[in-house]
Structure 1
């Protein structure tokens, strides 16, 4: 199956604003750059999670460096953008809690610690995560235009005024122009890459937050996602079979 891609996105720092991209490179671990970084509460030895730290969504992070010399630009809600380099601190790999499992991270030496801490109102530090360690489910997430359209219709029937595209609320790697979600084990050719669909994705309260402000919205999605078995599902996971670049339809 070779569907059209209508939206691509990722977040460089776990939990921060999911940013639209014109193209994404997939390697065997998933989208290159996606959740490369995370913020940690060093005192609690825990990776910050969006569902508990909604103001993460107010932070937009862009990569302005190179592989050899990483450098991030962080834009805070007041419109200020701060750029700084980052490098591994001398204490090497450590294990921090992420949803009850150990995430392997490298604490960073960077001036951005203060920027993140001030924006979130708590003492946090930036860390580089091992690929996939701060990803809750599959490395690639997929939603379809058909499922989004049906959800919007359901919301309007319930009396909600839907004023913005819903796919940003699900923070998916890719939105595909398909009427229905592809079933598990379907292979999709996305540009140069090939992925295999795995299982439906369970959702949490993050989908009820504004994807830019982090505020709880009037349009409540979570209650409209209940499946027959009681789980809150929307979209599908996928794993990468053949790495490559995929591009948004223009």
Structure 2
């Protein structure tokens, strides 16, 4: 369990202490307070080149205003042009994607070893509903639709979205969860081990915070590696988090555990982790520091 914060300076008498920094809300850069357990760092990066399929864990990514270019670049729709994701079929996570955005080459590897790969070629536009938000993508021609349809036993099509559009919430191109929160969730469930962070499909996993310490970074600018982000809100959780990240089979009652020990938020969500937008592009690597700056005056719900 992390110990109490230790001040590096005594000039904080009229400030608010925020998990490692003290700052007057709305003022210039905060005076830092030491973390006895070390500055928080990025321990895992996770992207999903194809939304709903297996995650990929690069050692570093480039953040621009739309997030990571290769993240959620593709998604799947059914014959009625409705989004086909993990809620409808958890077994999607058994298909492993590999995507090179420079050459626009996509590979899907299926559990039986079947591989569908080739250069991406785009067709007509199709508009799909993303949680009440219309997203217009383009049909992807190539071997992937046939391979997906054959494996899952129904007509499916692969779509490509504009960068940063196939996300679950507007202005939510960056997401973050702490290992402290994952440990606490496991503890609340009676487990000795932390819950696997892949269940939550967050862009960054961070160590060096107490449980839910990331919640104190809301409405704040946070330096992650070379990039600067504004964390705007908490992430409300759904039944996908109950699915095993390797098999897609529900095997952990995430929602019940969260409700039992955290309760419902004011908007009746089960919050776990935070999301935000990119203010300054930059590169982020595993091992990079994660440091909040001064309190922002922006409303996280705006």
Partner of residue 116, structure 2? 82
Partner of residue 199, structure 2? 169
Superposed CA deviations along residues 210-237 of structure 1, whole A, max 9, x for unmatched, are 11111111x2212122234342110001
> Residue 195 of structure 1: which of 225, 229, 236 is its match?
229
Structure 1's 79 and 164: CA in aligned 2 closer, same or farther, altered over 3 A? Answer: farther
Distance 2:249 2:194 in 1: 15
* Pairing of 1:53-132 with structure 2 (within 5 A): 53-63=89-99, 65-67=100-102, 69-89=103-123, 91=124, 93-132=125-164
- Alpha-carbon distance, 1:102 to partner: 1.5
Instruction: Structure 2 unaligned segments of length 5 or more: list them.
Output: 1-20, 22-38, 289-302
Instruction: Structure 1 unaligned segments of length 5 or more: list them.
Output: none
Higher relative contact order (CA 8 A, sep 6+): 1
Partner of residue 188, structure 2? 154
Structure 1 stretch 124-133 or stretch 22-31: which is displaced more?
124-133
- Alpha-carbon distance, 1:154 to partner: 0.6
> Residue 13 of structure 1: which of 50, 58, 80 is its match?
50
Distance 1:190 1:168 in 2: 20
Tell me how many residue pairs correspond in the alignment.
240
Verify: 1:237 aligned to 2:270, yes or no.
no
SS in 1 for 2:247: coil
Superposed CA deviations along residues 158-206 of structure 1, whole A, max 9, x for unmatched, are xxx5667521111110011122114311221111111111111001000
> Residue 254 of structure 2: which of 199, 214, 221 is its match?
221
TM-score (norm 1): 0.89
Distance 2:96 2:193 in 1: 22
Root mean square deviation, CA, Å: 1.9
Distance 1:62 1:210 in 2: 21
Verify: 1:27 aligned to 2:57, yes or no.
no
Superposed CA deviations along residues 65-118 of structure 1, whole A, max 9, x for unmatched, are 453x411111111133332222112x3x22122333321101111111111112
Superposed CA deviations along residues 111-164 of structure 1, whole A, max 9, x for unmatched, are 1111111222211111111233321121111101111111111111xxxx5667
Contact kept, 8 Å, 1:57 with 1:212, in 2: the verdict is: yes
SS in 2 for 1:169: helix
SS in 2 for 1:46: coil
Distance 2:145 2:192 in 1: 37
SS in 1 for 2:199: helix
Partner of residue 249, structure 1? 287
> Residue 134 of structure 1: which of 150, 166, 171 is its match?
166
Distance 1:131 1:145 in 2: 28
TM-score (norm 2): 0.74
